[in-house]
Chain A
Amino acid sequence: MITVHELTKRFRVGSSQILAVDRLSFVVQGGEVYGLLGPNGAGKTTTIRMIVGLLRPESGYAEVAGYRTSESPDDVKSHVGLVSANDGVYHWLTVREMLLFFADLYGVPLREAQDNLRMLADLFDLTPLLSRRCSLLSTGQKQRVTLARALIHMPPVVLLDEPTRGLDVLGSQVVIDYVRRLRDEGKVVIVSTHRLDEAERLCDRFGLLHQGQLRLEGTLDELRTKTGCQTLVDMFRSFFQPVHAAG
């Protein structure tokens, strides 16, 4: 389970400060896929980074599997698999070396790591690439390696920031299918994406962020009732466009 409580983060820009996340609170249960949606600069990535402990919040807290990020950062990190929006790969390592390296970082025994590697390689169609150096991979292949890297330690909590970035339709479908599988296994998944059509198909609940605040939260049906719009795209148009225009 993930609990985010009154999480607040400011960034200093020159002499002024920008409020990136403003008293954000939400809860995601095991077996649930939560869509963290919002326009650029809404605070989605900052929120994910604070949950993992990469950024320190000004106030509030985040808890993962009962561990508070500020108190037990390593416990939180060991329970989380993170796919970041700007993930990279180690150019001089092979795909196998890189995945086993991360498994080691998360304390996975070698034999177990190799089993996980085989399973993920089959799932993301990485088997032919395992001996290839990461610098020789295409964008889509790198993204698949990144996903496998985030899941190599079989984390109970998965945070996906733009997980289908750089993937074609078929690649995206593999990710979507796997996220569903994670949900079925009872894992907690938070997805932050700009691809609203995917989010509609993928997420059980949504949190719509704007200017660091949670403006709307609920299942798709609940959001339809609240906004009167049928799709997330329409909701975005009606909810965020005037602000954009003003901005």
Chain B
Amino acid sequence: MSDDANQSIERVPGRPVRERQIGRLGRLVLKELREILRDRRTIITLVVMPLLIYPLLAVAFQRFLFTSLASNQEPVYVIGVGSEIDQQMLARQMHAGEASMSEQEKSLDSVKSGPEPNAAAAAAKKLLGGDVGKIEPDVTIVAYPDEDLQRFVADSSLHVAVVHRRDRRKEDEKGLQTPLVWELIYRAGSAPSEAALHFVESRLQAFNKVGLDAELKRMGVVVALPAATERHPVGYAGAPNFSLAALIPLILVLMTVTGAVYPAIDLTAGERERGTLETLIAAPVPRLGLLLAKYSAVLTVALLTAVVNLIGMTITAHSSGLAAGLFGPGMSWGVVIKVLLLLALFAAFFSAILLALTSCARSFKEAQAYIIPLMLLCLVPGILCLIPSLEFAGWMAVTPLVNIVMLARDLLEGTVQTGLAIAAICSTIFYIAAAIAVAARIFGTDAILYGSQATWADLVRRPEEPQPSASLAAAMFGLALMFPTYFVLANDLARSPELSMQSRLQVCAIITIAVFAGIPVGIAAIGRVSWSTGLGACRPRWAALLAAAVLGVSLWPTAHEIFLLSERLGLSWLGGGRIAAAEAILNQFKTVSLAVILVTLGLVPAACEELCFRGFMFGALRSRVSGLWTVIISAILFGVFHEVLSSGRLLPSMFMGLALGFVRLRSGSIFPGMLLHAIHNCLLLTMSYHREALIGSKLDVEDIAHLPLSWHAAGAVGVAAGVALLVWATQERTTVNSVNSV
């Protein structure tokens, strides 16, 4: 053994550094794409299938669906009579009846803003892109002298036969006389025959009414009709009865799933079957990095497939005349952008879910077995959104897949609500992150690599050693759990008017503790995360606390201006309704003591949110990214959570998140941030509580007005002093850290 033997194993020169990791991630994605796209099976799924499937679907639609709808659009009624005299008489009477009905309908035109009485026919017209209007049947009256008209009706040669009969009553009998009776022969149970019957009958009844009215007028008699009826349609702003646009989410589901399935299986279970998984895991690349590269590749292929599908579908729809039904009068750029954005969202969601699922599989066969139930499950929301009466409710906004399917439907129909849309998109992003994190945790584990027995309990198995921080996967999982829980609970609380303000505040505090403290602490406890390094629960310097207190008092004028800026940018809206609602809440605050308000809305959120965002999340992010990015990402998350609960708070909350993140980064502890946050909250709440007194002393802060310049100047001095004090107080600590990092 040579002396320089040990020297040669000191360090490998080309070890990856952080700066090169992003570039390597890109090359990993390219490699995965190269492998996927060179496979002919992918090309067949990607290009050939849409070229075959959509023309076939179009033929099926036209042949079966639209043929039946077209018959509703302009029905043809063939009416048989026994002689030419009957033919002329019936035509005259029906014409007179028709004229009478038209007169009646004209008088109702002023209220005809809603759908036509014949809703099915109107819907059929709308489906085909036509105007919602009256449908005129094509009526033919044919005379068949000396023929068995009943037989013609029975064998469907005629829709209705009208046979002239004599009145059975005696002529000298008093009351209503019927010298002519038309016997209407029709096929009972046959929709076209019964529709023709209704058509003839209604016109003859109208003709009789006109005749009777004229006779009574001639006789100078006034007779009151005991129970007349009149139709009065009203406008209906709800979901239409049926719209082909509602089919688009289902089509998007199918498109994106189809595109993502094969690459997801190939890049996970396929790796193991090929025997490349072990060598991949043996390389010094974090599993999350590998999974992100695989996710990007699956997403790209899913998007490509979806776009090719969309192009195929659009060309087929235009060439077959179905485009109007699907996209309205024309496929505008707006619709194209909407559909592409939705495709991206669907593809992002399915790619992550499929990757998480196929990462559990040890073979192609096993992966396919996992995916089939998922695909069936995915069809449920797609079909659900076809139900016109189903409205996009709060709980749906955070239910995976249901949220984006309903969002897609409402977006295409132009009835989307911004709050629900943001909640749906944010929750989906969190689910995507959680799915990738789960996939990274499973992919390449003992159980998958070598088929050793493992259980789902292994996923949440506590590590044997204490961990310096929560893993990024745990943080993502936490977000995916916290967001929907908080959204649903907070919305339910907002819809509980029976609760008094005091109870409401108490419940709100309990929800905040459960979500922002309970979930992160629970996950941290399972992961044996250190309280001091992982959650930042360590003793800070007194000067850092003092600096935080100064910042807590000084930051609010800037936050107020940022709120006004976000309004100017259109990110929030302070309409009369919102101001009135805010004032109503402020008035309700008077029913409870200031102490309760400060504890429930000031101190509890400050403590719990700091534990969550600047403790748990911050620790997990800091283990992966630089301090700057940790502050930025945690601030964005902080802003998003606040925006979803109350529109317009994104920018101000992000600003506060940046300030709080800076304090956490410098001090290394969550306690200064808690103090800053608590002072900021309590100050604003106290000012709101004593608003009337402030108005009296001319110190009122109007919600929609800029603050005086002197206030900003004072705030700026405070911020500068706070930052300087913080930097001074944490200088030594930061220096030690940089020395350690070197």
Footprint of B on A, CB under 8 Å? 1, 11-14, 29-32, 49, 52-56, 65, 73-75, 77-80, 82, 84, 86-93, 97, 101-102, 104-109, 112, 149-150, 153-157, 185-188
Q: Please name the residue on chain A nearest to B289 by beta carbon.
A: A105
Number of interface residues, chain B, beta carbon within 8 A: 42
Contact present for A105 and B283 (CB under 8 Å): yes
CB of B282 within 8 Å of the partner chain = yes
Q: How far does the Cβ of A244 sit from chain B's closest Cβ, in whole Å?
A: 24
Q: Please name the residue on chain A nearest to B283 by beta carbon.
A: A105
CB of B172 within 8 Å of the partner chain = no
Residue-wise, chain B 21-42 has the 8 Å CB interface mask toward A (1 for contact) of: 0001001100100111011000
Q: Please name the residue on chain A nearest to B12 by beta carbon.
A: A78
Contact present for B8 and A109 (CB under 8 Å): no
Given A105-B284, A107-B16, A54:B449 Cβ within 8 A: yes
Footprint of A on B, CB under 8 Å? 1-2, 4-12, 14-17, 20, 24, 27-28, 31, 34-36, 38-39, 274-276, 278-286, 446, 449-450, 452-453
Give every chain A residue within 8 A of B39 (Cβ-Cβ): 92
Q: How far does the Cβ of B24 sit from chain A's closest Cβ, in whole Å?
A: 6
Give every chain A residue within 8 A of B9 (Cβ-Cβ): 1, 30, 65, 79, 156-157, 186-188
Give every chain B residue within 8 A of A52 (Cβ-Cβ): 282
Q: Tell me if A's interface is mostly helix, strand, loop or mixed.
A: loop
Contact present for A106 and B283 (CB under 8 Å): yes
Give every chain A residue within 8 A of B6 (Cβ-Cβ): 1, 29-30, 186
Give every chain B residue within 8 A of A80 (Cβ-Cβ): 282
Give every chain A residue within 8 A of B38 (Cβ-Cβ): 92
Contact present for B14 and A185 (CB under 8 Å): no
Q: How far does the Cβ of B202 sit from chain A's closest Cβ, in whole Å?
A: 70
Contact present for B20 and A55 (CB under 8 Å): no
Give every chain A residue within 8 A of B1 (Cβ-Cβ): 29-32, 186
Q: Please name the residue on chain A nearest to B23 by beta carbon.
A: A104
Give the number of A-B contacts (CB < 8 Å): 139
Contact present for A56 and B275 (CB under 8 Å): no
Q: How far does the Cβ of A93 sit from chain B's closest Cβ, in whole Å?
A: 6
User: Contacting A108 at CB < 8 Å: which of B14, B285, B286, B446?
Assistant: B14
Give every chain B residue within 8 A of A87 (Cβ-Cβ): 275-276, 278-279
Contact present for A186 and B2 (CB under 8 Å): yes
What are 21 A-B contacts defined by CB distance under 8 Å? Answer: A13-B453, A29-B5, A30-B2, A31-B1, A54-B281, A55-B450, A65-B11, A80-B282, A82-B278, A86-B278, A92-B38, A101-B27, A102-B279, A104-B24, A105-B285, A106-B14, A107-B17, A153-B12, A157-B9, A186-B1, A188-B9
User: Contacting B284 at CB < 8 Å: which of A1, A11, A106, A187?
Assistant: A106
Q: Please name the residue on chain B nearest to A84 by beta carbon.
A: B278
Given A79-B9, A90-B274, A109-B14, A55:B282 Cβ within 8 A: no
Q: Please name the residue on chain B nearest to A159 by beta carbon.
A: B282
Give every chain A residue within 8 A of B17 (Cβ-Cβ): 107
Contact present for A12 and B452 (CB under 8 Å): yes
Contact present for B284 and A30 (CB under 8 Å): no
Q: Please name the residue on chain A nearest to B4 by beta carbon.
A: A186
Q: Please name the residue on chain B nearest to A88 by beta carbon.
A: B275
Q: How far is the CA of A13 from the CA of B278 in the complex (A)?
A: 21
- The 8 lowest CB-CB distance pairs between A and B, nearest first, are A88-B275, A30-B5, A186-B5, A107-B16, A156-B9, A31-B5, A31-B1, A105-B283
Q: How far does the Cβ of A153 sit from chain B's closest Cβ, in whole Å?
A: 7
Given A89-B276, A92-B34, A92-B35, A82:B282 Cβ within 8 A: yes
Contact present for B7 and A78 (CB under 8 Å): no
Give every chain A residue within 8 A of B36 (Cβ-Cβ): 92
Give every chain A residue within 8 A of B449 (Cβ-Cβ): 54
Give every chain A residue within 8 A of B279 (Cβ-Cβ): 82, 84, 87-88, 102, 149-150
Contact present for A104 and B27 (CB under 8 Å): yes
Q: How far is the CA of A52 from the CA of B450 in the complex (A)?
A: 15
Q: How far does the Cβ of B447 sit from chain A's closest Cβ, in whole Å?
A: 10
Give every chain A residue within 8 A of B24 (Cβ-Cβ): 104-105, 107
Given A30-B8, A156-B12, A74:B286 Cβ within 8 A: yes
Q: How far does the Cβ of B338 sit from chain A's closest Cβ, in whole Å?
A: 36
Given A107-B16, A108-B14, A102:B283 Cβ within 8 A: yes
Contact present for B453 and A86 (CB under 8 Å): no
Q: How far is the CA of A31 from the CA of B712 in the complex (A)?
A: 71
Q: Please name the residue on chain A nearest to B273 by beta carbon.
A: A88
Q: Please name the residue on chain A nearest to B266 by beta carbon.
A: A92
Q: Please name the residue on chain B nearest to A2 by beta carbon.
A: B9
Contact present for B274 and A56 (CB under 8 Å): no
Q: How far is the CA of A187 from the CA of B9 in the complex (A)?
A: 7
Q: Please name the residue on chain B nearest to A12 by beta carbon.
A: B453
Contact present for B34 and A93 (CB under 8 Å): yes
